[in-house]
Structure 1
Amino acid sequence: MQDTNQFVATYDSLKTMIFDAETGKVVTQLANDNSTSDPNYRINRVISHPSQPIIITAHDDKKIRYFDSNSGRMIHSMVAHLETVTTLAIDPQQTCLLSGSHDRSIRLWNFETKNCIQEFTAHQKKDDESIHDVAFHLSKPYMASVGADSIAKIYA
């Protein structure tokens, strides 16, 4: 989000809202494309683009959703993995999105075209879980992931 006086929160009720940090009042509620009672819609991660008015969410229903943070309107939805999408990260150049899933894969997406640029298997499953988090290094060309297998990996 471009406005540093705002923050995003998601709830067990499956709602996602943008709040004014000073007043605590709801600025915008994100619209979704699913019944809010559907447990597969559960949101596992929410991130905001650092320079564009876009919020991105990762869901149990295998989808990644993009929202306009000004209007709350969903602007894109895509099936991104074979299982639950657990984590997201935007690279420092703001051209790629990284996603991780319990399907054991990490996928690198072109931010503009939404096309998958690269996919690789990263972690072993443990109790039906796999990738817990992904991240980009702020100044070096590295990515990292951590998984349910208790391993942290760094990729160059």
Structure 2
Amino acid sequence: MAKLTVNGRGVEVDVDPATPLIYVLRNDLALNGPKLGCGRAQCGACTVHLDGEAIRSCQFPVGEAEGRRVTTLEGLGTPERPHPLQEAFLAEQAAQCGYCTSGMIMQGAALIQARPGITEAEVLAGMEGNLCRCGTQPRVVRAVLSAARKGA
């Protein structure tokens, strides 16, 4: 049994502690924000926040998340009050197929949180591990910089 705090809510799940966090989030908690891409922590589609830091949930054992705060895209903002980066993604049209979008937003939000005055070079370096086959990276960078300027 694993006791977690996901998107501000306490939950208990009956899984092996070695189970990758993404499976618990998607299969047991029905959270569809994080996506399973490569399964090797190399593409970033599964990115969530753990105590405010971006992690790859496909390679993170759920047992190591006990007693810590997990935030997915669903917990970053709400439809009524989206996170500034979610708004910036819409304004910049930074999503195309959408598969990588959740991971991009979660990585970008963590970057902004860690460095509010983030530069373009820092965004490029910080987003390097989040892959997008559709080619929206320039719009993603603009969205992250826009949200940072607005004090996200």
TM-score, length-scaled by structure 1 = 0.30
Larger RCO: Structure 1 or Structure 2 (Cα < 8 Å, ≥ 6 residues apart)?
2
Structure with greater helix percent: 2
Structure with greater strand percent: 1
